Structure 1
Amino acid sequence: MPATITAATVAKARADAKPGAKRYEVVDARARGLVLRVGATGAQWQLRYALAGRDVRLPLGGIDAWTIAEARDLVGRAQAMLRDRTGVPDQDWLDRQRRAAGKAEPLPVTVAKPKDLFAWTYAQGRTKWLDEIGRTRRAATYADYKSVLSMPDLAGLDKKPLPSISRGDLAGIISKIHRSGRESTAEHLVRVVRPFWKWLAQDGQAGKSGILPGAMDGLTAPERTLDESDAAGEYVPPLEELGRIVAICRSGAMDAVVAGAVELTVWTAQRRRAVAEATIDQFEAIGGGRGLWHVPPASRKTRSKAGTKKRPHVIPLPPAAWSCVSRALATATTKKSDYLFPQLRARRAGDAKTSIHPSSITHTLGFMPGVAASPHDLRRAFGTHGESRFGLLRSDVQSILDHAAGSGDVTGTHYSLHDGTHRTWPIMQTWVAGLLPYVDAAIAGLGPVEEIRAAIAAKRYGDQQRAAE
């Protein structure tokens, strides 16, 4: 059992250390790893620690080489170095401590630096983690994480050994970003840094990164600036605005492909990536001017766990919504594309043409005159108006927004194998029927298409003269 080493302990050890004496050890209760070892050949201080799964004993010198206080201080510095992964207490380290304490002749030495002890700098660790993210996550997630961890604010960390970067260092950078007015960027950086550091501390990487578990626990961004204005709340587009969006989409004032994608987003309240990347084979006509949209698991936000199968999220499409799909199908067929909303040209020379980018939906909404909504605002409008104006239940809204399809639904995953549309048809019919009068009113009140086209161009290019031309 550990015991506090005192002057009396040292005196007894000195007396016991004689030929024929039985060996014993006193483990100090005040300095973890400090041991006083006594035997026939004398008494000496030792440091005990674990490294790479093995126990290490480092003799520190005879009982008279260090006082109790000096021995504890020496061991404390060794443990701090191990804890922070900035070095290893070995014989060279001990010799430097002796010289620094005036207990040995000083000699020229090369001090081991963290970069000599651990292989990865911040830039190297970032590359390794992003490789893993590219293997296990979607391309959009990879692009987002790479952008965040490579932002100019972090450039000063690139050549630093990972163990030398403290939570305080990152907290300072995050605080500076926050003070610059980029408060959401500061919060997002925290959301990316914490899993990055957690991965660095895992067994597969810890030996190269030098990061210990929990190194970034507690890292947070400063609180957001108080904003009590009406604009501080989340925006819910009124039904009149939703009607105006559909009316502009149908006016012919914009490219038909992007207009169709925006209109489908209004009718279905699905995420922009699911809409933009939709393929023709996901849509099924069922007669009566109606159809179904089978949104595949890969287009949804929640990810399936390894070894499990996630089924499509099926959205019923009443006639008004299906008519949007029908127009898009006709356009895609003429372009010989597998995508419902094919891109006009490949993103890079030599690449195959795929679908429009999800950001096209966001940008197009921003160009529309008299429209303030984002794609996510359209989802919020479905939930808000669906409940408050059209009498939908919260569970109804969740079933369309895909917030109710959790991975813990064993029955839905393995046993109840219908597509769920017996329940969701009435929900979508209620939504579309409630929205149609606002669409009709917006179409009736829409100005000349030339004026709308000019207003869109003016917003897009920021040049009224160019817009008029």
Structure 2
Amino acid sequence: MATANLTKRTVDAAKPENADYLIWDDTLSGFGLKVTPAGGKVYVFQYRIGGRGNPTRRYTIGKHGALTPDQARKEAKALAAMVERGIDPRQAEDDAKAAREAAQRAADEKARHEGELAFEKVAERWLEHYEDEKGRRPRTVEQAKHVVNTHLLPALKGKPLPHITRADLQPIIDGIPVKYRASRLAVYAYASVLFRWAMERGEINDNPVRMMAKPTAPEARDRVLTDDELVAIWKAAETLRDPFGPYFHLLTLTGQRREEVASINWAELDRASAMWIIPATKAKNGNAHMVPLAPAVVELLDRLALAEQVKAKADKPDAKRWPKAGSVISLKGKQPLTCYSRAKRRLDDATEAGTVAAWRVHDLRRTLATGFQRLGVRFEVTEATLNHVSGAKSGVAGIYQQHDWKEEKREALRAWAANVAAIAAGHRPSQFVNDHGEADAAAWRAYIRACVDNGGKPVERGTGNVVPISAAKQSV
């Protein structure tokens, strides 16, 4: 084993051989020079941790040229001091490298958290995905945006998504008054969908909403307008300027959802067949829906079509020539009506004080369903008219029962429109009695059938306020 005092002269004098060889310094134990066949010269330090029974390890100090012998010797002395303290130089170097890499990863992750994983960035990406996925209805997308922008974003902006916990989310829900149960539930639901989406993408490890208590759902409403209330609302709507009056009349006569009526387009309507086809993209349940139009609805749409032609100064305006496209219910003639609360306030202001207890627009659908029942309409027809997927049309039954109930719906909606016209003219079911002076539903249904046969217009009942059932049946 060659030894020498490693100085610049001895290092420069070392010549390459056929294999690597080492020259050990004769003054500093473990300090040496490795010479390779290619002429490379590298300073090394060889040591043993824990006594002679343990294997030796070798640490590369650096290349000759980049280091002078004196600089390499100084480094070797520092390494020897570490060994004296029981520290493994190679392990220490590996640990230092690992610490540097960990620090860099932490810095990168912090930058990612503060950048692409900041709540507002993730929420923006999720909303884009939510809107495009499954062709969701505009109303659903708007509600998701409302929850994010109104409730989540003000509290979570700037926070990295992986750092958001239940403790951050619960105060958001608690901040919504308990009486607004639907809003509390909506925030919970949309937040859960957002965080689950991020979890499935690997951006977070768990959904913090998953372990939160689900807010109590609002009680199911069972509000049904009385005949007198329905008449008060109908007549108040007659006093409103377009499009508010027609909007509420269409809601009443068709029983369709608020957003579906507000966004009705001429392209969805066919006068020849008296049919409105709601596209699947607009329907709440994603199923295209046929809504037969009663004569009263056709008459209302004729008036709107004529007004539109007159406004456009069309040659030879014709009420029976409906536009091929465009919003039917619109404030400015282009965009569909979206100011639902404003429309409802206008109607409430126009309604005679004290005639109608607190109500919501959706109550009109429930009132139509209840009216159908009074008119003897089958449950399946009612569900089909409302575009519900219930036990009558779900599961296996929905696969095998493909009847569209189109004609039955047409008959039912004609009867309902005639019913509305009759009560608006002052007629009431209680005025139709049997021979014992008791109210008789059959007599009222017979009278409504007579009204349907009269083009939906009320027929004369004769003199007096009470009509015997025999007289009612004779009018059919």
Once residues 270 and 151 of structure 2 are traced to their aligned partners in structure 1, the CA distance between those partners, rounded to angstroms, is: 47
* Pair 1:282–1:139, CA change in 2 (3 A): closer
The corresponding residue for 2:300 is: 324
Contact 1:318 1:432 in 2 (8 A): yes
Which of 119, 124, 127 is matched with 1:127 structurally? Answer: 124
2: distance between equivalents of 1:345 and 1:238?
34
Q: Deviation per CA, 1:12-36, whole angstroms, max 9, x where unpaired?
A: xxxxxxxxxxxxxxxxxxxxxxxxx
SS in 2 for 1:315: strand
Task: Find the aligned partners of 2:271 and 2:382 in 1 and give their Cα distance.
Answer: 24
Matched, 1:243 2:243: no
How big is each residue's C-alpha offset from its partner over 1:380-406, in whole Å with a ceiling of 9 and x where there is no partner? 11123322x323333222111100389
Q: Does 1:270 align with 2:270?
A: no
| 1:92-141, Cα deviation, whole Å (9 max, x unpaired) | 79979xxxxxxxxxxxx899476346440111111111121232334333
Distance 1:91 1:177 in 2: 51
1:314 aligned to which of 275, 290, 293:
290
> Once superposed, which parts of structure 1, at least 4 consecutive aligned residues long, lie more than 6 Å away?
92-96, 405-415
Q: Percent identity?
A: 23
User: Are positions 1:302 and 2:302 aligned together?
Assistant: no
Residues 320 and 432, structure 1, Cα contact 8 Å, conserved in 2 = yes
Instruction: Encode CA deviations 1:275-319: one digit per residue, 9 max, x unaligned.
Output: 1221223223348xxx2222222221123xxxxxx5x41122222
**Gaps spanning 5+ residues in structure 1: where?**
1-39, 43-64, 66-89, 97-108, 304-309, 347-352, 443-469
Matched residue type, 1:275:
V
Give 1:174 shift.
1.4
Instruction: Show the 5 A alignment for 1:23-422.
Output: 112=106, 115-116=110-111, 118=113, 119-136=116-133, 137-151=136-150, 154-178=153-177, 182-202=180-200, 205-206=201-202, 209=203, 211-223=204-216, 234-250=222-238, 253-286=239-272, 291-303=274-286, 310=287, 312-336=288-312, 338-339=325-326, 341-345=328-332, 353-357=334-338, 359=340, 361-370=343-352, 371=356, 372-387=358-373, 389-404=374-389, 420-422=405-407
Q: For 1:41 and 1:269, locate their aligned partners in 2 and report how far apart those are by CA, in whole Å.
A: 89
1:326 to partner: Cα distance: 2.0
Could you tell me the TM-score, scaled by structure 2's length? 0.56
Corresponding letter in the other structure for 1:195: V
Alpha-carbon distance between aligned partners in 2 of 1:266 and 1:279, rounded to the nearest angstrom: 18
The structure-2 alpha-carbon separation of the partners of 1:249 and 1:169, relative to structure 1 and needing over 3 Å to count, comes to: closer
Residue type matched to 2:389 in 1?
A: A
SS state of the match for residue 357, structure 1?
coil
Q: Please give the TM-score of this superposition, normalised by the length of structure 1.
A: 0.57
Q: Verify the 8 A CA contact 2:151 2:172 in the aligned structure 1.
A: no
Aligned mates of 2:254, 2:199 — CA distance in 1: 43
Alpha-carbon shift at residue 334 of structure 1 (Å): 2.9
> What amino acid is aligned across from residue 349 of structure 2 in structure 1?
F
Aligned residue number for residue 431 of structure 1: 416
User: CA-atom RMSD, angstroms?
Assistant: 3.8
Secondary structure at the residue paired with 1:254? coil
Change (3 A) 1:284 1:358: farther
Question: What is the deviation of 1:243?
Answer: 2.1
Over 3 Å counting, the alpha-carbon distance change for 1:224 and 1:92 in structure 2 is farther
Q: Decide whether the 8 Å contact of 1:318 with 1:428 is kept in 2.
A: yes
Q: Which structure has more RCO (C-alpha within 8 Å, separation ≥ 6)?
A: 1
Distance in 2 (CA, whole Å) between partners of 1:390 and 1:91 is 84
The aligned residue for residue 16 of structure 1 is none
- Measured against aligned partners, the alpha-carbon deviations of 1:36-91 in whole angstroms (never above 9, x if no partner) come to xxxx989xxxxxxxxxxxxxxxxxxxxxx9xxxxxxxxxxxxxxxxxxxxxxxx96
Q: CA deviation at 1:441?
A: 2.2
The letter for the 1-side match of 2:411 is: P
SS in 2 for 1:297: coil
CA contact (8 A) 1:365 1:373 kept: no
Q: Any conservation in 1 of the 2:188–2:215 contact (CA below 8 Å)? A: no
Distance between the aligned counterparts of 1:331 and 1:409, measured in 2? 45
Instruction: Check whether the contact 1:175–1:222 (CA below 8 A) recurs between aligned residues.
Output: no
CA distance in 2 between partners of 1:144 and 1:91 (Å): 52
CA–CA separation in structure 2 for the residues paired with 1:165 and 1:257: 46
Higher alpha-carbon Rg: 2
Question: Which secondary structure state, in structure 1, belongs to the residue aligned with residue 337 of structure 2?
Answer: coil
Aligned pair count reads 314
